[in-house]
Amino acid sequence: MRLKPLTLAVALVLGGCSLIPDYERPEAPIAAAWPQGEAQGSGSSAAELSWQAFFRDPALRQLIGLALDNNRDLRQAALNVEAYRALHRIQRSELLPTIDAGVGGQRQRLPADLSPTGESGIQSQYQASLGVAYELDVFGRIRSLSRAALEEYLATAEAQRSVHIALVGDVATAYFSWRSNQTQLELTEATLESYRKSLGLITSSAEVGTASELDVRQARTLVDQARTQKALFTRLIAEDGNALRLLLGSDIPTDLPESGKPDMALLAEFSAGLPADLLLRRPDIRAAEHRLLAANANIGAARAAFFPSISLTGAAGTASSELDGLFEGGSGLWSFAPRINIPLFTAGRLKANLDYAEVLKDINVAQYEKSIQVAFREVADGLAARGTFGEQVQAQSDLVDNNQAYYQLARQRYDEGVDTYFTVLDAQRELFASQRQLLSDHLLQLNREIQLYKALGGGWSPSDTVATAD
């Protein structure tokens, strides 16, 4: 029974204490619900929906898989995680004693006037020892630094997840832009061919006096406009291909599977959930909180620096003037050197270091709160787009149908001799413009849905490779 208080005291000294401030997660500076009137959607949450399930286009899934294997930004992010993991291991090693062994020898000749015996001679000394060095972490300085290194490592791992999510979204956005511009080029080529036929017909009519030079010029204007659009989309397709190659880290495969037209049917549905879910879904918010925890741990280390530090150094071994007598009886040696370092005067350095650590924590609190606000805004924008793009695309689709009917009616009235060919040209121009705008609206709708998926933390699944904490 008498040993219990002593045992407890030893345990407290060896275990030390912690001066890290108690952590309280800052209140999320956002509303408890999304703005009213914005579309929530249905199905699984974005974070629970893997990118393989969200993207239904088989060609896009193949490209994303290729990018995850070869993209240099993602590779750099993974290496950053490994680097911070190593830094954490380095800092954590200071919690344990350092043990080293050494074997050495020395031979020297002393002249007579320097020798204690007054005679010249050769002196030899051989030694083998085992040394131990350990700092008692009584006030938790080393543990605080180790905790800070761990949180930095975890923040870097979350940053890798952010790069992963961004890469998935960027590949999808570049792919749909590439596909949409290809469709635009096909539409432009078909329209250009129609314009050229109309130009040939009007030119023939002008030669026989049934059409004016003004009609010819108007028809030629439409041909030139279509030629300009063809060159534009040809260039955009090439640029989209270059962007895809950069994201993929390799060439675009030539054996991509067939896929449908780029519209919302290529994406799965998902729900937005509640704003509080962002704290669990968004890796950038989790990374900001890990950095906040690291700053909080650094305050504990700065506080501990005001208190004494205790280091223990010891060595044991054997020594002899002859090599064959190194391990004989009576050749043993040992040393023990405890040291207590008490800071008395540092010219305000320790106080300034503590002030700096506390200010850094305040900065990280602001960054954490800002990351939540940015995430809320991105999701709210995405929900607003989801609530309006459906109606916009439907209205544009109805406009295309109306212009198609307008063109057919104008063609019929021209064939019957009721209207001039100018009406047909105007109908062609309106139809082409509305068809192009519909394709652009489909692309914008796809991009905004992808951005919403990313903003809700989608694009990451546990099966994806990432470093984890020890």
Give the CATH number, domain containing residue 209.
1.20.1600.10
Tokens of 239: 């640029």
Tokens of 103: 């074997």
Is 121 part of a structural domain of the chain?
Answer: no
For residue 462, the model assigns a pLDDT of 56
> What mean pLDDT comes out for the span 131-141?
91
Lowest mean pLDDT, pick from 189-203, 270-284, 293-307: 270-284
Q: How far is CA 209 from CA 6, 202, 324, 369, in A?
A: 119, 10, 124, 75
pLDDT (tens digit per residue) in 356-374: 999 999 999 999 999 999 9
Residue 375 has pLDDT above 80, yes or no: yes
> What mean pLDDT comes out for the span 245-260?
90
Q: Using N-to-C axis directions, what is the helix angle for 141-207 and 213-248, rounded to 10°?
A: 160
Q: In what order do the strands lie in the sheet with 332-341?
A: 98-110, 121-136, 309-320, 332-341
Lowest mean pLDDT, pick from 270-274, 371-375, 450-454, 460-464: 460-464
Is 338 part of a structural domain of the chain?
Answer: no
Is 465 part of a structural domain of the chain?
Answer: no
Is 159 part of a structural domain of the chain?
Answer: yes
Q: E-assigned strands of 281-326?
A: 309-320
Lowest mean pLDDT, pick from 119-123, 186-190, 198-202, 221-225: 119-123
**pLDDT band, residue 127 (cuts 50/70/90):** confident
Using DSSP bridges, classify how beta strands 309-320 and 98-110 pair: parallel, antiparallel or unpaired: unpaired
For residue 8, the model assigns a pLDDT of 40
Is 3 part of a structural domain of the chain?
Answer: no
Total domains present in the chain: 1
**Predicted structure pTM score:** 0.85
Residue 461 has pLDDT above 60, yes or no: yes
Residue 2 has pLDDT above 70, yes or no: no
pLDDT (tens digit per residue) in 66-108: 999 999 999 999 999 999 999 999 999 989 999 999 888 888 8
Closest CA to 152 of 288, 351, 349, 11: 288
| Count of Cβ atoms closer than 10 Å to residue 162 Cβ | 20
Residue 190 has pLDDT above 70, yes or no: yes
Domain range for residue 201?
18-97+139-307+347-455
Kindly report the CA angle at 418 between 417 and 422, in degrees rounded to 5? 90
For residue 320, the model assigns a pLDDT of 77
Residue 150 has pLDDT above 90, yes or no: yes
Element (H, E) at 119: none
Instruction: Confirm if 220 and 195 have CB atoms less than 8 A apart.
Output: no
> What mean pLDDT comes out for the span 342-365?
93
